[in-house]
A and B are shown apart, each in its own frame.
Chain A
């Protein structure tokens, strides 16, 4: 069974950079997509984007394109979500989720990483 373990909570100031991680275990991730989901305080789930481990191809939601970067390191089965300049509005819980290529649902989820951006 696949397990996704995310990096710990972060507290940052506006304008700072940040990279959070999602490490998979239990299977070879070569044939997997990993997606990132934002959940702002008291709000619903939003897809940020996806990365395909086989070729590091990415797909972003229009709302997040240009503000975040999704990347992956196949050698350590880890996906990343990064910001070059955080805003207060980036304060949220961020989840990673995985699916095998060819599936259209996400059956494995990380525990979430809380990002707080405050001056």
Chain B
């Protein structure tokens, strides 16, 4: 299982949108609609932001949205706010007989 590929960083000004990609293979991202996204602020535990590609848990602002095309999933943060500055990780179900999940490499979102 190889880590999913994310860009190291992405940035935008307050109010703008930023989109983060998460590229895998047909064995993980492309094979299942089971991509989730986690936000992690420095020194804090990860927090679930998106599950099953595009669903938002209760309490997550609708500024966060997810999508998928082929082997690449994406997270879009619209109307960027200062508190959105954090690391973001995608994760996909991989259907393996070993640990069936794989994380992305992580993207730091910088609010300019």
Spell out A's residues near B (CB within 8 Å).
35, 37, 44-50, 59-62, 65, 95, 97, 103-107, 109-112
The residue among B51, B87, B104 with the most chain A CB atoms within 10 A of its own CB is B51
Which of B10-18, B19-27, B72-80, B94-102 contacts the other chain?
Answer: B94-102
A45 to B52, CA, bound (A): 19
Which B residues are CB-close (under 8 A) to A104? 32, 34, 36, 51-52, 93, 101
Flag whether B103 is at the interface (Cβ < 8 A): yes
Closest Cβ–Cβ distance, residue A17 to chain B (whole Å): 23
Asked whether B101 lies within 8 Å of A35 as measured between CB atoms, the reply is yes
Which A residues are CB-close (under 8 A) to B99? 35, 47-50, 59-61
Which A residues are CB-close (under 8 A) to B38? 45
Asked whether B34 lies within 8 Å of A45 as measured between CB atoms, the reply is no
20 contacts between A and B (CB under 8 A): A37-B103, A45-B38, A45-B46, A45-B89, A45-B103, A47-B91, A47-B99, A59-B100, A60-B99, A61-B1, A95-B45, A104-B34, A104-B51, A105-B34, A105-B51, A105-B91, A106-B91, A107-B51, A107-B57, A109-B46
With A105-B51, A106-B48, A107-B57 in contact, do A46 and B36 touch (Cβ < 8 Å)?
no
Secondary structure call for the A interface: strand
Asked whether A47 lies within 8 Å of B47 as measured between CB atoms, the reply is no
Residue ID in chain A nearest B40 by CB atoms: A45
Interface pairs A-B: 9 shortest CB-CB? A105-B51, A105-B36, A104-B34, A44-B106, A61-B99, A109-B45, A104-B93, A45-B103, A107-B48
Which A residues are CB-close (under 8 A) to B52? 104-105
A12 to B102, CA, bound (A): 29
Flag whether B105 is at the interface (Cβ < 8 A): yes
Partner of A47, one of B34, B57, B103, B106: B103
Asked whether A106 lies within 8 Å of B3 as measured between CB atoms, the reply is no
A64 to B23, CA, bound (A): 23
Asked whether A60 lies within 8 Å of B98 as measured between CB atoms, the reply is yes
A41 to B4, CA, bound (A): 20
